[in-house]
C-alpha cells in the first residue's frame, strides 16, 4: 500500500492504476469534486449565444472567442444582421478567431437553416426534443460536430450528454479511463456509459477535467507531482514516474 495525498487523504492500493475504467472514472469524479468543488448546472448564456460562440471557439482562446462574438453583434445588431452580412465585413468582425474565412459561411448557413426550418432564429425548441433526435438535428448544421451539439444540450437544456473536448479527452486517456485507440467521437459514448445519467454529474466531470487539463494535466510538461489523480493514473505510472519522458 502507498499513501497518495489527496484532498480527502484517500489511501489507494499500490496497483491502483490497474483499476478498471469504471472505477477510475468515479474516483476521478470524486477527487476532482474535492479539488474544484461541486458546481451547479446553471445556464451561462442563452442557447443561440452558446451555439455560435462554440462555433467561434474552434482553435481559439476564450478571450478571442468572446471578443469576436461581441464585435460581431455590435456591428450587425442581431442574428438577422449577421445572417445577411457581407462576407468580408463579417470575417473582419470575427478576425480574432482562427480561420474566420471558414467560420463565416458556416455561421451564416447555420442561421439560414434554423430560420428556414423554424421560422425564427432560435433553438429553444430543443428543450422538448429527445436527446438523440436533438443531436442529429444539431450535427446537420454546418460546422457543428458532436462536441458542440452535446455542449449546447448539456449546458443550456440540461440533457444527459457528455461533451468531450481536448482536455476531457486527454485527461481521461492518460488516467486510463479511455483506451489509447479510442477516438474523440467515440469517447462521448464511452464516458457517458460509465457515469451516472445525471446532467449535474456530467457537467461537473466535463468542467473539472477541462480545468484540470488546462492547469495540471497540460499537453506539454504535465504537473504530475501536483496531480491528485497520480495514484490511479496510467500515464504517471508507466511514463512519468519511470522517467521515460523528459517533462518536468
CATH of the domain at 101: 1.10.340.30
Last residue of a domain, one of 92, 123, 157: 157
Last residue of a domain, one of 133, 157, 181: 157
When divided into structural domains, the chain yields a total of 2
Full 3-state SS string of 178-221: CCCCCCHHHHHHHHHHHCCCCHHHHHHHHHHHHHHHHHCCCCCC
| pLDDT for residue 162 is more than 60 | yes
Q: Domain holding 14: CATH number?
A: 1.10.1670.10
Cα-based distances in Å from 246 to 118, 173, 215, 223, 228: 54, 19, 19, 12, 21
How confident is residue 3, by pLDDT bands cut at 50, 70 and 90? very low
246 in a structural domain: no
- Residues spanned by the domain of 92: 47-157
245 in a structural domain: no
Dihedral of alpha carbons 165, 174, 177, 209, sign: negative
Q: Does 146 lie in the same domain as 170?
A: no
Q: Does 144 lie in the same domain as 124?
A: yes
83 in a structural domain: yes
Digit-coded pLDDT (tens) for 182-204 = 999 999 999 999 999 999 999 99
Q: Does 235 lie in the same domain as 216?
A: yes
Last residue of a domain, one of 157, 179, 208: 157
61 in a structural domain: yes
Give the Cβ contact number of residue 186 at 10 Å. Answer: 14
**Cell numbers linked to 224:** 504530475
Interval 70-81 mean pLDDT: 98
Q: Does 66 lie in the same domain as 19?
A: no
247 in a structural domain: no
Q: Does 51 lie in the same domain as 7?
A: no
pLDDT higher for 74 or 58? 74
How confident is residue 16, by pLDDT bands cut at 50, 70 and 90? confident
| pLDDT for residue 139 is more than 90 | yes
27 in a structural domain: yes
Amino acid at each position: 500500500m502507498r499513501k497518495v495525498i489527496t484532498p480527502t487523504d484517500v489511501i489507494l492500493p499500490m496497483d491502483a492504476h490497474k483499476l478498471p475504467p469504471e472505477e477510475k472514472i468515479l474516483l476521478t469524479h470524486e477527487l476532482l469534486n474535492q479539488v474544484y468543488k461541486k458546481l451547479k448546472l446553471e445556464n451561462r448564456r442563452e442557447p443561440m449565444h452558446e451555439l455560435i460562440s462554440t462555433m467561434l471557439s474552434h482553435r481559439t482562446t476564450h478571450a478571442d472567442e468572446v471578443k469576436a462574438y461581441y464585435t460581431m453583434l455590435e456591428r450587425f445588431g442581431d442574428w438577422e444582421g449577421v445572417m445577411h452580412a457581407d462576407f468580408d465585413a463579417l470575417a473582419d468582425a470575427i478576425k480574432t478567431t482562427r480561420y474566420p474565412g471558414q467560420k463565416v459561411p458556416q455561421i451564416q448557413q447555420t442561421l439560414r437553416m434554423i430560420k428556414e426550418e423554424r421560422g425564427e432564429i432560435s433553438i429553444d425548441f430543443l428543450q422538448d426534443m429527445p436527446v438523440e433526435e436533438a443531436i442529429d438535428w444539431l450535427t446537420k448544421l454546418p460546422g457543428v460536430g458532436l462536441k458542440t451539439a452535446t455542449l449546447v444540450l448539456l449546458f443550456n437544456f440540461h440533457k444527459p450528454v457528455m461533451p468531450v473536448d481536448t482536455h476531457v479527452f486527454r485527461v481521461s486517456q492518460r488516467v486510463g479511463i479511455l483506451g489509447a485507440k479510442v477516438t474523440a467521437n467515440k469517447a462521448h459514448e464511452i464516458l457517458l456509459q460509465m457515469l451516472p445519467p445525471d446532467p449535474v454529474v456530467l457537467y461537473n466531470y466535463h468542467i473539472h477535467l477541462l480545468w484540470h487539463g488546462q492547469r495540471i494535466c497540460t499537453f506539454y510538461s504535465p504537473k504530475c507531482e501536483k496531480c491528485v489523480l497520480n495514484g490511479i493514473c496510467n500515464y504517471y505510472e508507466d511514463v512519468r514516474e519511470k522517467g521515460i519522458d523528459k517533462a518536468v
